[in-house]
Amino acid sequence: TGPETVSPTGQPTGADPARNAQSGAYLTTAQGARLYDTDHSLKAGPRGPVLLQDHHLREKITHFDHERIPERVVHARGAAAHGVFRGYGTAAKVSKAAFLAKDVETPVFVRFSTVLGSRGSADTVRDTRGFATKFYTEEGVFDLVGNNMPVFFIQDAIKFPDIIHAGKPHPDREIPQAQSAHDTFWDFVTLHTEATHHTLWNMSDRGIPRSYRMMEGFGVHTFRLVDAEGGTTLVKFHWKPKLGVHSQVWEEAQITGGVDPDFHRRDLADAIEAGAFPQWELGIQTFPDNPEQTFRGIDLLDPTKIVPEEIAPVQPIGLMTLNANPSNFFAETEQVAFHLGNMVPGIDVTNDPLLQGRLFSYVDTQLTRLGGPNFPQLPINRTHAPVNDMLRDGMHQTAVHRGVAPYRPNSLDGGCPFHAGADTRAFIEVPAEVEGRKVREAPESFDDHFSQPRLFWLSMSPVEREHIIGAYTFELGKCYEQAVKERGLKVLARIDGELCRKVAAGLGLPVPEPDGPLADPEPSPALSQVGSVWPVD
């Protein structure tokens, strides 16, 4: 490989000055042979025909023909930046991860995205936003692959293809949900009522952020941290933007979407170019690692639930600054491959069934998207820690491995046996007890789909409630199927009477009776103060 430029944080940007043909003194083929003309095919006489022997023509067109790779199956539309993370050292008592130690600086690459739109879709649509961070730590890559909302639509990854099929453009007309027909999305979220909480966040101002720089980020799942003595703590990760949380109002989002569909992408790149580097504090909510995996009755393995910050404050553990734009969108933003399984010693997973399915899905999709198993070798995915693996060959292999015996122990290359626990710097899974009958069931606590949506609604200010009512009225109003709209109103009746009545009035439909009682009509005093958790600006 040729020399590479590096970002200000030391991360290779993938830009290779040797591959800068447009400004170089001369042009070559991919094999380095100099060319004298790139504008005329080789022909039998100036009026043709074109000769098959024209290697330069064939190379140029063949390569162009293969320039596109599949877009991400979700989160296809995104923008990214390089930066640096500095640990405060405050997490040292709960995690031995080296990058969290005081004043350790770690290069990062962050990709923000929408979920449902294709690569060329608008930035400003109502949707969840991805917030994925790759930490190039000295102990290996750690990926925190989160969203700008703290909960998810489903509790089990086995439903992920279903919710995404329901949300993607209609299969017959390929009309995106955000523009016209909405029936499948609303059909799904009203039949699978665990989606109610996330849907409510989507219908709130959080669904139309002002800027990527002004979004919170959430790891969503509960993770497990491991300290130097092997002690464990359950945590939820939070990114808090220094610029505060800001949204557009619906009319603004419509205008910016029309006038400048690249609104968020431009905003991020312009701010960084101008030196206005966006910053986020990373924080954690911590919970004892008890056998029930609950905190004050909230099931920590249920990704449709939050733990209110009043009862588990977010404690800051480090600061992230984004200070450099990618120099090549394809090499970096498009080829970056995040994966929850990229973990470092001191951070481990829990049994959240959504998280567990994600541990399979990301690498699996990247094998197709990035053409085989060697995408960790791409400059943007390359770890900054030394690599010493026994993975060999495969499509797009760029390493030239030495030795003859890629197995251990071996008697030919001097490879000795190798014992888990012998190296204290190794990643060692928490030896958690596992038992149980094999069943396709969810725990009973996963059945509560309405108490937290109600909590969220009760925390909203009057103007925020009006925005939510407007959003439900507009979005449900786009459904063709009367039955889907009616089922939508029944769901709203379980959240709040006023919300249901006002949306029903907007749709010109009767107010339905709720199918069950309001789940949390009298939230506990601590929970009723939860409004301050969601300031809109």
CA-wise closest residue to 9 among 239, 318, 378, 323: 323
> By the 8 A CB rule, do 299 and 305 touch?
yes
Nearer to ligand HEM by C-beta: 160 or 427?
160
> By the 8 A CB rule, do 495 and 455 touch?
no
Catalytic residue among 75, 182, 264, 339: 75
Nearer to ligand HEM by C-beta: 145 or 527?
145
Q: Name 371's Cβ contacts closer than 8 Å, sequence gap at least 6.
A: 69, 395, 396
Residues 282, 236: Cα–Cα separation, whole Å = 11
425 is in an annotated binding site: no
Could you tell me the smallest distance in angstroms from the CB atom of residue 24 to ligand HEM?
32
Residues 220, 191: Cα–Cα separation, whole Å = 23
Nearer to ligand HEM by C-beta: 93 or 119?
119
Catalytic residue among 56, 147, 202, 339: 147
Could you tell me the smallest distance in angstroms from the CB atom of residue 116 to ligand HEM?
11
Could you tell me the smallest distance in angstroms from the CB atom of residue 222 to ligand HEM?
11
Buried b (16+ CB within 10 A) or exposed e, 255-275: ebbeeebebbbebbbebbeee
Could you tell me the smallest distance in angstroms from the CB atom of residue 497 to ligand HEM?
30
Contact residues for ligand HEM (CB under 6 A)?
72-75, 78, 111, 113, 130, 132, 145-147, 152, 157, 160, 220, 303, 336-338, 354, 357-358, 361-362, 365-366, 369
> By the 8 A CB rule, do 275 and 284 touch?
no
Strand, coil or helix: what is 81? Answer: strand
Could you tell me the smallest distance in angstroms from the CB atom of residue 534 to ligand HEM?
18
Determine the angle formed by the axes of helices 462-477 and 250-259, rounding to 10 degrees. Answer: 60
Residues 311, 533: Cα–Cα separation, whole Å = 11
Residues 426, 139: Cα–Cα separation, whole Å = 9
Could you tell me the smallest distance in angstroms from the CB atom of residue 383 to ligand HEM?
17
Could you tell me the smallest distance in angstroms from the CB atom of residue 210 to ligand HEM?
19
111 is in an annotated binding site: yes
206 is in an annotated binding site: no
Residue the block writes with tokens 């791409």: 378
Q: Name 426's Cβ contacts closer than 8 Å, sequence gap at least 6.
A: 345, 420
DSSP per-residue codes, 173-207:
T---TTTS--HHHHHHHHHSGGGHHHHHHHHSGGG
Q: Does the annotation count 410 as an active-site position?
A: no
Q: Does the annotation count 75 as an active-site position?
A: yes
Q: Centre a 10 Å sphere on the Cβ of residue 527 and count the other Cβ atoms it contains.
A: 18
Nearer to ligand HEM by C-beta: 84 or 215?
215
> By the 8 A CB rule, do 84 and 105 touch?
yes
Nearer to ligand HEM by C-beta: 235 or 337?
337
Could you tell me the smallest distance in angstroms from the CB atom of residue 358 to ligand HEM?
5
CA-wise closest residue to 374 among 346, 353, 394, 347: 394
> By the 8 A CB rule, do 263 and 209 touch?
no
- Partnered with residue 299 across adjacent β-strands are 294
Q: Which residue's Cβ lies closest to ligand HEM?
A: 130
362 is in an annotated binding site: yes
Tokens describing residue 516 = 């069950």
402 is in an annotated binding site: no
Nearer to ligand HEM by C-beta: 111 or 213?
111
Nearer to ligand HEM by C-beta: 220 or 489?
220
329 is in an annotated binding site: no
Nearer to ligand HEM by C-beta: 77 or 485?
77
Q: What are phi and psi of 196, to 5 degrees?
A: -60, -45
CA distances from 270 to 39, 108, 324 (A): 35, 19, 11
Binding residues: 72, 111, 160, 358, 362, 369
The residues annotated with a catalytic role in the active site are: 75, 147
Binding residues for heme: 72, 111, 160, 358, 362, 369
